[in-house]
Amino acid sequence: MKPSLNWLLIFVPIAFVLRFWPGVANPTVLFVCSAIAIVPVAGWIGRATEEFAARVGAGLGGFLNATFGNAAELIIAGIALSKGLTSVVKASITGSIIGNILLVLGLSILLGGAKHKEQRFNKTGARTSVISLSLAAIALIIPTVFHMSAAASPGGWSPDVEHRLSLGIAVVLFVTYICVLAFTLKTHKHFFIGCEGELEEEVEHWTGRKAIVILLIATGVVGLLSEFLVGTIESARTSLGVTEVFVGVIVVAIVGNAAEHSTAIVMALKNKMDLSVGIAIGSSLQIALFVAPVLVFLSYCFGRPMNLEFSLPEIFAVVASVYIIFQISGDGETNWIEGVQLLSVYLILGILFFYLPEIRAEGSPTPKKELETPALGPS
């Protein structure tokens, strides 16, 4: 009866009833129930991955943990891509990055700091990850800068060129991800030894067969629930009065990362800030270096090429989040007021995205003629 995310599993059958039982269909309620139901099932994916990874060696195990740690986000975004909801997918990338840095780490620092006056973590490992995250943020800014610059030059812009630019950047990010894995799991793993030791302490091992079976079942259930969630986004956002960008940045991002959120907070409460910081920053890094490129690659498989051009509010949110975490990670210490500061920034950005008007769909830049004030009266 101990409080647990598993209590939320009750929403799994409720979501299936709402989806398949005739006469009880309600898109908005299905959207909410599916979102909540994904949280505990995603937690099972993470747990099963950890158990399976522990049995295949440190190198391959670490790779599996890092790769499948964001399985829920990948499944949700992949289904959204297949349905042409590119703006939701891009917004979920932004939301996952800022959510892990500001919301997850903010809550962890606040709650952990309320229990422990000061908490310390490995600043060398944290700063190394934050620098990689900064480089990823720069890479995600480039397509937007290109779009704005090329739009000012007659004949200098085309969707095809923008897609090729984004594809090239995605390849570079993916290769960088492989290098980061080699650095953290092989050549310089002593930088991150504290996080690994704490993690092993918390795991009660399953058998290999049990881990694989649960991983397969949970992945399938998340796939179905993600289809319910994505299929009701349009109806839910209309009835709730929010935009696709808000749904992607706030709702989808929180749902996809909720299991990791809870783990980071629990570790902070136990004064294991190394692991808490590692989860928050590491998850953002995986989104930027692994999930974003993979989604670009997937978009070509669906015949709907996606570029990495983000809106200015999204770019600002990512840059501001990375800047803040760069400052906080420098001294290797945290206290509860830093958690309040991170959460304040997240709430401010959430308010921004709530009131932000629907962004124009992808396409050519607004022609200059549309920006000219029409003449009044006869010419």
- Across 119-139, average pLDDT: 85
Q: Is 369 inside a domain boundary?
A: no
Asked whether residue 158 is domain-assigned, the answer is: yes
**What confidence tier does 347 reach under pLDDT thresholds 50, 70, 90?**
very high
Look up the CATH number of the domain holding residue 267. 1.20.1420.30
Q: Are 65 and 50 in contact (CB under 8 A)?
A: yes
Asked if residue 371 belongs to a domain, the reply is no
Better-predicted residue by pLDDT, 157 or 300: 300
Residue 366 included in any domain: no
**Letter string b/e over residues 329-338, b meaning 16 or more CB atoms within 10 A of that residue's CB:** beebebbbeb
> If we measure between CA atoms, which residue out of 273, 308, 261 comes closest to residue 289?
308
Query: Which string of DSSP letters, residue by residue, matches 136-203?
Result: HHHHHHHHHHHHHHHHTSTT---HHHHHHHHHHHHHHHHHHHHHHHHIIIIITGGGGHHHHHHHHHH-
Residue with tokens 């986004």: 233
Q: How many domains does the structure of the chain reveal?
A: 1
Res 379: pLDDT = 40
Q: What is the mean pLDDT of the chain?
A: 81
**Is residue 360 scored above 80 in pLDDT?**
no
Percentage with pLDDT > 70 across the chain: 83
Closest alpha carbon to 93 in 350, 342, 341, 290: 290
- 3-state class (DSSP) for residue 271: coil
Tell me the mean pLDDT in the region 232-257.
Answer: 85
Q: Which pLDDT belongs to residue 10?
A: 92
Q: Which of 68, 97, 141 is nearest to 294 (CA)?
A: 68
Question: Which residue has better confidence, 289 or 259?
Answer: 289
At 310-330, the pLDDT tens digits run 989 999 999 999 998 888 887
In a domain, 378, yes or no: no
The pLDDT-based confidence of 159 (bands split at 50, 70, 90) is: confident
pLDDT of residue 147: 83
Tokens for 175, please give them.
Answer: 């290769």
Asked if residue 321 belongs to a domain, the reply is yes
Rounded to whole angstroms, how far apart are CA atoms 363 and 26? Answer: 33
Predicted pLDDT at 337? 92
State which residues form the domain around 59: 5-354
b/e per residue, 213-230, with b = 16+ CB within 10 A? ebbeebbebbbbbbbbbb
Does 372 map to a domain?
no
pLDDT of 344 higher than 90: yes
In whole angstroms, give the CA distance from residue 107 to residue 268. Answer: 9
Q: Which of 75-79, 165-169, 229-233, 284-288 has the highest mean pLDDT?
A: 165-169
Q: Is residue 368 part of a domain?
A: no
Mean of pLDDT values over 324-337: 85
Lookup: tokens for 230: 């994505």
